[in-house]
Chains A and B, each alone.
Chain A
Amino acid sequence: DIVMTQSPDSLAVSLGERATINCKSSQSLLYSSSNYLAWYQQKPGQPPKLLIYWASTRESGVPDRFSGSGSGTDFTLTISSLQAEDVAVYYCQQYYTIPPITFGQGTRLEIK
């Protein structure tokens, strides 16, 4: 199974500042010029929501302060200017090898 490891486990950032979450996979997620990596946001009491897929494609309706980057085994989710509504747990997920789809352990983002 592909193991997804996120860092840090938790993060506190001031409003308006940049937040960066990292995700490392145990094997490359790159195939035919596409990285099989997605990012999700889960707010308390809600299901997760898709933010980014193919490592860097923003889902429709997601604010452009959210961006994804990286390739191969190392990926990053960046929130360029943190807003109060961005407080949530963020998960990366690989869909390169199925079964199983695997998620990172999650990163809890809070306001400093």
Chain B
Amino acid sequence: EVQLVQSGAEVKKPGESLTISCRGSGYSFSSYWIGWVRQMPGKGLEWMGIIYPGDSDTRYSASFQGQVTISADTSISTAYLHWTTLKASDTAMYYCTRHPSGTLHPYHIDLWGRGTTVTVSS
């Protein structure tokens, strides 16, 4: 089955670091872009950034540049979203997404993970 399997819910304190993961299965992980989307409670969808695991080409939204790091390990078909210093405002659901690839350009999202809930509270 083609799917994106995300890591479990996290509860952290402000100032802590965190890495959440997204493992692709049932397809060629290196041949599709993997992106991350934030959804704050009761709000809409915000695109954070994207990586092409085949060559590690990574692009960020200006809103999230410097706030998070996106990476991928093709040997285990897994992408990561990392925070060095969490804030309470990082409390949200985070979805990983799969995008078919054009020439150096990701297309629409054709597959979503089920999401990882991150709660940051003192």
A contact set with B: CB distance below 8 Å: 1, 36, 38, 40, 42, 47-50, 53-54, 59, 91, 93, 95, 98-106
Asked whether any CB of chain A lies closer than 8 Å to the CB of B62, the reply is: yes
Q: Report 12 cross-chain contacts, Cβ distance below 8 Å, ordered by A residue.
A: A42-B45, A50-B108, A50-B109, A50-B110, A53-B108, A91-B45, A98-B59, A100-B62, A101-B35, A103-B45, A103-B47, A106-B44
Which 6 residue pairs spanning A and B have beta carbons closest together? A38-B108, A47-B112, A100-B61, A53-B108, A101-B47, A103-B45
Q: CB within 8 A of B50: which of A49, A53, A98, A104? A: A98
Query: Which residue on A lies nearest to B35, using beta carbons?
Result: A101
Given contacts A95-B107, A106-B44, contact A47 B95 (CB under 8 A): yes
Q: How far is A38 from B112 in the complex, measured between Cα atoms in Å?
A: 14
Q: Are A48 and B45 in contact (CB under 8 A)?
A: yes
Taking the nearest CB of chain A, how far is it from the CB of B16, in angstroms? Answer: 26
Q: Which of A91, A99, A106: most chain B Cβ within 10 A?
A: A99
Taking the nearest CB of chain B, how far is it from the CB of A95, in angstroms? Answer: 6
Q: Are B61 and A95 in contact (CB under 8 A)?
A: no
Asked whether any CB of chain A lies closer than 8 Å to the CB of B114, the reply is: yes
Q: Are B112 and A48 in contact (CB under 8 A)?
A: yes
| Chain B: interface residue total (CB-CB under 8 A) | 25
Query: Which residue on B lies nearest to A40, using beta carbons?
Result: B109
Q: How far is A47 from B59 in the complex, measured between Cα atoms in Å?
A: 23
Q: How far is A100 from B61 in the complex, measured between Cα atoms in Å?
A: 5
Given contacts A98-B50, A99-B49, A99-B59, contact A38 B44 (CB under 8 A): no
Q: Which of B58-112 contact A (CB under 8 A)?
A: 59-63, 95, 99, 105-112
Contacts of A103 in B (CB 8 A): 44-47
Q: How far is A36 from B109 in the complex, measured between Cα atoms in Å?
A: 12
Contact with A along B34-56 (1 / 0, CB 8 A): 01000000001111011000000
Contacts of A100 in B (CB 8 A): 47, 61-63
Taking the nearest CB of chain B, how far is it from the CB of A4, in angstroms? Answer: 10
